[in-house]
Amino acid sequence: MDKLQLADGLNNQTSQNSLKNLKKELLEMLNKELEECKDQRGKKKREIKKVSFLDEFGFQIAKVFVVPSFDEQEQSADDEKQLDEESSAILDPFFNTQLPKRKSSWMFNFQQPMHNVGKLIKRLQYQKVALESVTLRNDIQRLYGTVKVKRSCTDVQVFLRCTFNNWLTFKDHSAVLLNRGSDMIDTYFFDFKIPPNDINYKQIQFCVGCKLLDQQFWDDNDQRYYKLIA
């Protein structure tokens, strides 16, 4: 009887050892498969290079190019679509957000004021404020530039008044001081977003305003306003 119990005990111990070994082998196989899956995913990773550009005012414009490695495996249709979207993504330099791919086609309907220095100085003399330069960015749908102000006091507010519906409504966009000149001529910088040209927006008009204490002065391009047309 004792021999039978001893034999049964040995058999049970052997069975337990076999189960432990089997579990160990299964775990090793699973870990090996997981490592192989990770390696395959690692091969599919792409190297991303960023190329930065600066516009004429020193603001950064970043465009992301996705460069695949040479040993990269063939991608599925979904991966190709995602790659195209990433490679064409443009970041807004002011808000660092991805912009829509659609571009506008606005054009200036006026000459750059800085090209006629004599007229610019005359406007400053009589109007205290004058638009100096404008940059139109249809790719990011923004309009920005500089304004000259003849300083006569420290309490100065400079802004652009803009309309998309022929002055039925309008919106003011504040300009910020960029440079305080020693000749009492200060430079202000403005920037605002413009809508895409479509059936609802066919013309943009704006003028420059300046508040000096209780007085207001305007540069409205000799009552013709500054216009963008599509």
Residue 125: give its domain's CATH number.
2.60.40.2440
Q: How far is CA 23 from CA 26, 27, 28, in A?
A: 5, 6, 9
Single-letter amino acid code for the residue at 229: I
Domain count, the chain: 1
Q: Is residue 222 part of a domain?
A: yes
Strand partners, 228: 108, 204
Tokens of 43: 């091969």
pLDDT score, position 127? 92
Domain for residue 168, yes or no?
A: yes
Residue 32 is given by DSSP the state H
Taken in order 179, 181, 186, 187, is the CA torsion positive or negative?
A: negative
- Looking at residue 165, its pLDDT comes to 92
Residue 17 lies in a domain: no
pLDDT at res. 47:
47
CA distances, 107 to each of 135, 136, 196, 229 (Å) = 11, 8, 12, 5
CA 192 from chain center: how many Å? 13
Model's pTM, two decimal places?
0.58
Instruction: Flag whether 188 is in a domain.
Output: yes
What's the domain range around 158? 107-229
pLDDT of res. 182: 82
Distance CA 120, CA 114 (A): 7
In a domain, 48, yes or no: no
pLDDT at 18: 65
In the chain, which residues have pLDDT < 70? Answer: 1-20, 22-23, 26, 30, 33-34, 37-102
154 inside domain: yes
**Phi and psi (nearest 5°) for 57?**
-100, 5
CA dist 138 and 218 (Å) reads 26
187 part of a folded domain: yes
pLDDT value at residue 212: 87
Phi and psi at residue 195, in whole multiples of 5°? -80, 160
- Which has the closest alpha carbon to 194: 146, 120, 139, 154? 139
